[in-house]
Amino acid sequence: MFFNKYIFSRGMPKTEQVTQYAAGDDGDLQKGWWLDRNIAGNKTRFVAVIRNGTTLVHDRATHLCWPHDWAGDGANNDVSVNWATAIAWAAGLVFAGFSDWRIPNYHEISSLMSMNQHSPSIPIAVFDNVGVTSFWTSSTWHGGTSYAIRTGANNDVMYWELKTNTSRCIAVRTYH
């Protein structure tokens, strides 16, 4: 039987709560992506990788790969665009030698948000130039197809926005 010793996807990330306030709360159980192990080396969620001279961030919890610089080529050079342009931009993006980039859905981008950090809630120790603005997701709002979901990097908020309005965008790909 073959087992892959390099399994990176661990499921849902931890919430980062480490203080126990009651038996059975998240600080007590600390459930999450490193499978309840208390091995320090197994707790590193974000790993910087260099591909074709470009720094990317591999999220070991979700198995997603993000640009390190959120104002560079993997983020449309910090140019705000409408939703359709963001989707088309990511689909045509060749970055760090890969051509399978896309706009993240709202679950994917929200998985980056830290409940222990605000303004911005995206971990700035991991990524550069996140800022405190919003980013498009690829998810259309269930209340109307003229709207898509945007995330506010400064306050953990997901909200719907007309697809014709403009916002920043970030590309993501599955790490392999």
Average pLDDT over residues 122-140: 81
Residue type, 28: D
Query: How far apart, in whole angstroms, are the C-alpha atoms of residue 130 and residue 114?
Result: 13
> What is the spatial distance between Cα 138 and Cα 133, in angstroms, rounded to a whole number?
17
31-42: per-residue pLDDT in tens?
Answer: 665 544 555 555
- Give a three-class secondary structure readout of 33-76: CCCCCCCHHHHCCEEEEEECCEEEEEECCCCEEEECECCCHHHH
* Tens digit of each residue's pLDDT (9 = 90 or more) over 73-120: 999 999 999 999 999 999 999 999 999 999 999 888 888 876 555 555
Tens of pLDDT, residue by residue over 29-81, are: 666 655 445 555 556 778 899 999 999 999 887 889 999 998 999 999 999 99
Q: Which domains does the chain have, with CATH numbers?
A: 45-174 (3.10.100.10)
Per-residue model confidence (pLDDT) at position 56: 97
CB 174 within 8 A of CB 65: yes
